Structure 1
Amino acid sequence: MFELPQENPYPDSHVLGEGPEPHPLLRPVLPLLGRWHGRGRGEYPTLEQDFRYEQEVTFSHDGRPFLRYEARAWLIDASGTPVRPAGREAGWWRVTPDASLEVVLAHPTGIVETYVGRVSDTEIEIETKEVALTPLAKEVTGTRRHYALRGEEMTVTHDMAAVGQPLQHHLKAHLRRRPS
């Protein structure tokens, strides 16, 4: 009979100094490692009203030259009480030798995005190269994301072109790194 191992022998790490040594190509994005949490606001011309949300984002690695990325959000009311689940996405961030980025993100709503971008000291900018949609997915034709890191704080801005609208502001969140 086949016996399953007790533990994953190659766990992901989201904390520097714990788990595997980060691949040298990850150096420009190592400040992203961790679990981030915070709140944001969203809007779009096709929505009846703006909304508030809370979000968790995790960046981790397993020693190879890419980051694993996972984000989930939920809508909150004006007092901060959770209302319902909202966006969710997962993917991979790959750093090339010239410090450019290649990112793949998948959404449970039938959208897969490939991004290209660049990393500077405290700023990351990525923009979609391709967007693939399942037959029932909402029409999204492009997105752009900006990540600004200031110590233990990160601001994420997300622009989107969708449902016949041009690329424009959609989301902005302020996140703080959670203690390990």
Structure 2
Amino acid sequence: MIEIPSGLHQDVVSLAFLLGTWEGAGVFEPLPGQTSPGEEKCNFGQEIVFRHDGRPFLEFRSRTWVLDEQGEKVRPLENEHGFWRVTSNAHGTSGVREIEFSSVRDDGTVEIWYGELADGKPQIDIATDAVARIEGAPAYSGGKRLYGYVNEDLMWVGEKAAPEVPLRPYMSAQLKKVLSPAKLIEDIADLPDDGIAFFR
């Protein structure tokens, strides 16, 4: 069930399914020719946080790290920070909400993304409109992402292109929502005071 928290700006109510802290794992595969030591194909762990402060956007923070075969953290992989907005529908398409996402990555890449929130389901399809890079950032010419809320999990897949490499998938993950202590307390409100009766 998707909850609409109090204080959420009306412009981003349609993005309420994203709110919270999400954790899980996925698969990373760098673009051909961009593999450097420590950046080969691997499994990765991820934490994504979507939060709001009453203004008409959601703040986004993502941290990923390489996982070893036992699922233990090895080293950081990629960090990203940005802001999601819902814009007015410039094309007049019924039921379609347009999404803007501005982001910066720790490798020195800045991206502006545009896309759409699907009609009647919690799914977002976005693509880069502009990309800027510092001199040392890896070659990158654009990308696409698909986010979806599926059976209470947040799932996403990212595609990437470089000047010599056509658009291709490079990251995907399945994330589960991390419950806050307040929510956990709410869920155990009916537990007997001594807690023992729960096991009888």
Verify same fold: TM over 0.5. Answer: yes
Q: In the TM superposition, what are the counterparts of 1:58-77 in structure 2 within 5 Å?
A: 58-77=49-68
Aligned residue in 2 for 1:22: 8
> In 2, are the aligned partners of 1:138 and 1:163 still within 8 Å (CA)?
no
Aligned residue in 2 for 1:109: 107
Aligned residue in 2 for 1:79: 70
Residue 162 (structure 1) shift: 2.4
User: Which one of the candidate residues 44, 49, 68 is aligned to 1:53?
Assistant: 44
Find the aligned partners of 1:123 and 1:71 in 2 and give their Cα distance: 18
Residue 151 (structure 1) shift: 4.2
Instruction: Supply the AA of the counterpart residue of 2:104.
Output: A
Find the aligned partners of 1:40 and 1:100 in 2 and give their Cα distance: 27
Find the aligned partners of 2:176 and 2:106 in 1 and give their Cα distance: 25
Q: Deviations over 1:73-108 (max 9, x none)?
A: 000011101110110000100111332011101012
SS in 1 for 2:141: strand
Give TM-score scaled by structure 2 length: 0.78
Q: In the TM superposition, what are the counterparts of 1:153-172 in structure 2 within 5 Å?
A: 153-162=153-162, 164-172=164-172
- Count of aligned pairs: 164
Find the aligned partners of 1:53 and 1:22 in 2 and give their Cα distance: 31
Find the aligned partners of 1:162 and 1:73 in 2 and give their Cα distance: 21
Unaligned runs of 5+ residues in structure 1 are 1-14
User: Which one of the candidate residues 18, 21, 36 is aligned to 1:35?
Assistant: 21
Find the aligned partners of 2:169 and 2:86 in 1 and give their Cα distance: 26
Find the aligned partners of 1:163 and 1:59 in 2 and give their Cα distance: 32
Aligned residue in 1 for 2:183: none
Instruction: Supply the AA of the counterpart residue of 2:114.
Output: V
Identity %: 33
Find the aligned partners of 1:97 and 1:163 in 2 and give their Cα distance: 32
Instruction: Supply the AA of the counterpart residue of 1:53.
Output: F
- Structure with bigger helix share is 2
Find the aligned partners of 1:105 and 1:164 in 2 and give their Cα distance: 23
Residue 16 (structure 1) shift: 4.7
SS in 2 for 1:166: strand
Runs of 4 or more, structure 1, over 4 Å off, are none
Across the aligned residues of Structure 1 and Structure 2, the Cα RMSD in angstroms comes to: 1.6
Unaligned runs of 5+ residues in structure 2 are 90-96, 181-200
SS in 2 for 1:140: coil
